[in-house]
Amino acid sequence: MILNRNVYLVAKRSARMKTNSCKFLSTALPKTFDLESKVPRLQIPPLHQTVDRYLKSVEPWLSKSQFEATTKAAKEFVSPGGLGQVLQQRLQQLDASEKYSWLEKIWLNKAYLEFREPCFLNVNWYASLSEPHNAVLPRPNQALSYQSSEFQLVRASELIANILDFNDRLNSQEIPPDMGKDGAPLCMNQFKYQFGTTRIPKLGIDEVVSKYPNYTRHISVMYKDQVGKVNVYGTDGKRLSKSAIRASLKQLVDKIDSIQEKQPAVGVFTAMNRDFWATARSEMISLSKKNASNMEIIESSLFNVCLDVLADPKMGFDLDYRSNMFLKGDSGNNRWFDKAIQLIVTSSGHAGLNCEHTPVDANTTGRIISEALLSENGPNAYKENEDIGSQSYEPVELLEWELDTKLKEKLMEAKTKTGEFANSVNLETLDMTEFGGDKIKSLKLSPDSFVQMSIQLAYYKLHKTPCPTYEAAATRSFMHGRTECVRVCSNESVAFTKAMENPSMLKENKRMALEAALNSHKTYMGWGLVGQGVDRHLLGLKCQMEQGESDRATLFSDPAFGMSYNYKLSTSNVSPARLFRGGFAPVVHDGYGIAYGIDKNVMRFAISTWKNSECDLGRFKGTLGESVEEIIKLRE
């Protein structure tokens, strides 16, 4: 996975909607994009400030001699006449020419579109959705192996309708703007890149296709690796009723179950290397008009729905099992990983997401899905007499593909490689039900900083060394803002972990070390939230280099620079994780991917590692629990 793309926030709507970083107005005052002109531009940080903060961030895990060499390289870089001054000036010129942000295109291209490895596991994130609790639903008593169930289609139609309702309100700008804790508006631009959005593979660099407002009438639906076009709006433009959507899904399922020879499972191509997929896609389109039409249907669909069938529907009740299904599919099958939104519903009735990260960060998708889940638990959910919308639905279309021998061979290669790649990731969940945010706050601690220091301590306990650590900070308080990196590992956090592992250290001294580490983290987070971190500015500077300037790029050629992006701990706060809990694969081979949600009385984690690495997922889970308890006891 490329660096710095794991932001998972969830929305909760009551009289006011809020997350750990923003509040959602419930009153219909300004329209969705009415306040965009009030959102400020992202400023370019001062050069010396960024380099000083960079040095501060690398010192904890460098040797004394390494840090001296890095400091020398940094000073040469920022010195008068040094390359840093030249690059800063070019970046300022770029800023003056960009309408919204100097960072927007750089981040989109460098972090995503130019990345050639599979989006599958490297880019896409998953979420496991909460189950409906206000409605009495018919669970499948004897659901058949590898077969759809009535409950699956009932729930899928409910969630589809609710997501479509959000798109309808977005088209008419009835979605209230998000507001920050300070009352200032947040940028809503990302919402324009959710519906009908697909990442298209191209040689060298991909592209994103999308449009707003989006009045497309269909979604794409996958079942047993087959793809169907399902119209979800009537000819009058009104959303189909939930019962009509359900009938359409049932029609597609029955059609697929009845055919003797299945269509090629071309969706697995989307799990491959981007250039491999780009070549295969181009060959498919050139081979037949039918293939070209199919691609247009899928890529323009509002979103993709995956109806998963299980060997044993009871397996869906295991959180770890279905979390792996939502992250990886069945070895990458029954998915179209290029779609910005994929809703997954299993034959056991459980639901999840798999979303392509390029166009938006997960807090945007989180709001859409959270509102859909809240509606699912509303007074009119699953009630036939409240089933509004058009009752007239059109026949579904099963997409048929034409592949020649060369493409069939590529498809077989894709299936083999994707299966191997899927099996290379471990993912497990962890719930700490003894305490949560309320307990942490009662100890006068910041919940997020508390969890981050618990992760630092757990890693140090296991690996006996600190490491570069990534935490995402949302920057939607700026025009077209995405994220900034919070470099969690600090001199203070290292001093704290060493103190905790020193049996001769007095408890009071350990408390003081914890306080310093927590304050350091809050400072780093503060920098990130206002766009004054390290990573994005250095990326912008590096992208201004011209041919022949590498010899002067002392900061970038210094070994510590590459080491500093080797984020062995990639973390993301998904609080409160009541409506859904998300996760992702690690960003480096010998690292951990850690998503966590802090609720009032529970903390929830999704932890991943690559197999055949130095990381031990089972031991890390146990050590993390120990670390949490040790810090709690330290403050009690």
Alpha helices (H) along 464-506: 491-500
Tokens representing residue 336 in the block: 């179209």
Q: Of 218, 350, 357, 537, which is the active-site residue? A: 357
**Crossing angle of helices 447-463 and 507-529, rounded to 10°:** 120
Tokens representing residue 346 in the block: 């299993």
Residues 6+ apart with CB under 8 A from 452: 469, 471, 488, 521, 571
Residue with tokens 């904890």: 60
In 3D space, the residue among 455, 446, 461 whose CA is nearest the CA of residue 572 turns out to be: 455
Q: How far are the Cα atoms of 31, 187, 264, 409, 445 from residue 176, in angstroms, in the given order?
A: 6, 12, 43, 50, 32
The DSSP letter of residue 395 is: P
DSSP codes of every residue in 175-242: SPPEEETTSPBPP-GGGGGSTT-EEEP-SSS-EEE--SS----EEEEEETTEEEEEE-B-TTSPBBPH
- Neighbour-count burial of 626, counting CB atoms closer than 10 A to its CB (0-12 exposed, 13-18 middle, 19+ buried): middle
Tokens representing residue 520 in the block: 């350091």
Beta-carbon count within 10 A of 357 CB? 23
Tokens representing residue 20 in the block: 């750990």
Residues 6+ apart with CB under 8 A from 96: none
DSSP codes of every residue in 595-633: EEEE-SS-EEEEEEEETTSS--HHHHHHHHHHHHHHHHH
Query: Looking at the DSSP assignment, which residues form a beta bridge with residue 126?
Result: 354, 583
Q: How far apart are CA 25 and CA 27, in angstroms?
A: 6
Chain CA centroid to CA 25, Å: 24
> At 199, which amino acid appears?
R
Q: How far are the Cα atoms of 75, 127, 414, 582 from residue 83, in angstroms, in the given order?
A: 11, 43, 44, 41
The DSSP letter of residue 390 is: B
In 3D space, the residue among 119, 164, 113, 125 whose CA is nearest the CA of residue 267 turns out to be: 119
Chain CA centroid to CA 355, Å: 7
Please indicate whether residue 537 is annotated as part of the active site: no
Catalytic positions are 357
